[in-house]
Amino acid sequence: MVDSKIPEPGPAKLKRNAGPDEWLEAAKDCKYLSEQHMKQLCEIVKEYMMEESNIQPVSTPVTVCGDIHGQFYDLLELFRVSGGMPDGSEAEAPKTQSAVITSDDIEPPSTISDPKLRKKLRNASAPEEGGEDSSASQRDRSSSSGSRDVELKRNFVFLGDYVDRGYFSLETLTLLLCLKAKYPDRVTLVRGNHESRQITQVYGFYEECFQKYGNASVWKACCQVFDFMTLGAIIDGRVLCVHGGLSPEIRTLDQVRVVARAQEIPHEGAFCDLVWSDPDDVETWAVSPRGAGWLFGDEVADEFCHVNDLTLIARAHQLVNEGYKYHFANQNVVTVWSAPNYCYRCGNLASVCEIGDDLKPTFKLFSAVSDDQRHVPVSRPGRSEYFL
């Protein structure tokens, strides 16, 4: 039985002259907008994105979020764990037990052997027992992350893959676009490999839009927004955020800045590599089993960070059972994964990466909300078994 307080999905019932404020409130309640309003929203967001660089500068404090994949109710939990949405509304306590991991807990190359850390991970996926005490403890930990985070409003960087596979891709994307429309300087939406016409026609988003609107016009409008999403973000000039990884065609950030991004993702080349590549245990470059992008090794990451004066490359794109994972001995690449219990069956944790002015990442782990905290569509289209 689903808790009666949980937002119930369905079409938004708004007046024709409703605007961004009303759209955002409806989106928070898992409502999808009318065709007219959704097209208006896409136009507003597109205008903001046109003004952004291929590598959008972002100032600390920042919360970096990985793949979401249409898991709307877990996105709400992500915001609860992060201290609330950018609109400044009072944050609810997380519905799941969460854990905070700092750089002091991490052992290169992200092998989790410390029993205290393993206990943190177990607790993050365990049912909450402490009630109010647990929530208070979480608030205490969050408030101790630094006075500057309290004084300044936190920015959000989302690393792509907002749609496909989950039950509510449309509602998930709508909420993120509404936040972008309302707070364009505080929400950065990086393009992932699923923000693509070809991929969304295979993995669910196209079908979902057609099912809810009876035509493909909203899907087409969303795909036009995808074309203008930034390819990356850079935090205080030192932490690069991309969806996938590096490219043999890119040595400097300036080369990324001149890529023509207002297009469908190409099948090869620098643009393709940024959204498809993965770090791996290779020295330099290797062919990717995905059929797009490359596998890149520690030598590549070390040189790229040195040339561009980076301390870290934060990326998503790969399921990580522990919620996040550092790669390579120098820990200069980290994967952030924000879809807990991916595809509602993988049993993995999720995380967000919080970066303050000291540029030291702190990870907040969380698990999927329980069945009584989410709705499931009565009839849902099948999902492909392939993991991209």
**What pLDDT score does 101 carry?**
64
Confidence (pLDDT) at 164: 97
Q: Answer yes or no: is 244 within a domain.
A: yes
Contact of 341 with 367, CB cutoff 8 Å: yes
- CB burial readout 1-29, b (16+ within 10 A) else e: eeeeebbebeebebeeebebebbbebbbe
Residue 88's pLDDT is: 65
pLDDT, residue 130, reads 39
| Angstrom distance (rounded) from CA 95 to CA 90 | 15
Beta bridge partners of 296: 279, 285
356 within domain boundaries: yes
* Residue 14 counted as domain residue: no
pLDDT at 3: 84
Give the catalytic positions in this structure.
Answer: 194
What is the 8-class DSSP label of residue 345?
T
Positive or negative: CA dihedral 65, 69, 70, 72: negative
Residue 123: per-residue pLDDT: 52
Pairing assessment for the beta strands 99-101 and 361-366 based on DSSP bridges: antiparallel
Q: How many domains does the chain have?
A: 1
Report yes or no on 15 lying in a domain: no
176-211 as b/e: b if 16+ CB within 10 A? bbbbbbbbbebbbbbbbbbbbbebbeebbbbbbbee
Return the CATH number at 145.
Answer: 3.60.21.10
- What pLDDT, on the 0 to 100 scale, is given for residue 250? 98
Nearest CA-CA partner of 101 in 277, 352, 342, 373: 352
Inter-residue contact 105 to 120 (CB < 8 Å): yes
Q: By three-state DSSP, how is residue 101 classified? A: strand
User: Residue 66 has what DSSP assignment?
Assistant: -
**Does the N-terminal peptide bond of residue 115 adopt cis geometry, omega within 30 degrees of 0?**
no
pLDDT of the residue at 280: 97
With respect to residue 93, please indicate whether it lies within any of the assigned structural domains: no
| pTM (predicted TM-score) | 0.85
Give a yes or no: residue 387 inside a domain.
no
Q: Are 231 and 242 in contact (CB under 8 A)?
A: yes
Q: Position of tokens 């998503």?
A: 316
For the record, the structure tokens of 356 come out as 């303050």
DSSP track, 221-273:
HHHHHHHHSBSEEEETTTEEE-SS---TT-SSHHHHHTS--SSSPPSSSHHHH
| Domain carrying residue 122 | 27-82+103-371
49 belongs to a structural domain? yes
Per-residue pLDDT of the chain (388 residues; tens, 9 = 90+): 788 889 999 999 999 999 999 999 999 999 999 999 999 999 999 999 999 999 999 999 999 999 999 999 999 999 999 999 987 665 576 777 766 766 555 544 343 434 444 555 555 444 433 333 434 443 343 334 444 444 468 999 999 999 999 999 999 999 999 999 999 999 999 999 999 999 999 999 999 999 999 999 999 999 999 999 999 999 999 999 999 999 999 999 999 999 999 999 999 999 999 999 999 999 999 999 999 999 999 999 999 999 999 999 999 999 999 999 999 999 999 999 999 999 999 999 999 999 999 999 999 999 999 998 999 987 654 444 444 5
How far, in Å, are 20, 176, 218, 253, 309 from residue 24 at the CA level?
Answer: 6, 9, 17, 34, 38
Domain contains 50? yes
Q: Whole-angstrom Cα distance, residue 159 to residue 193?
A: 10
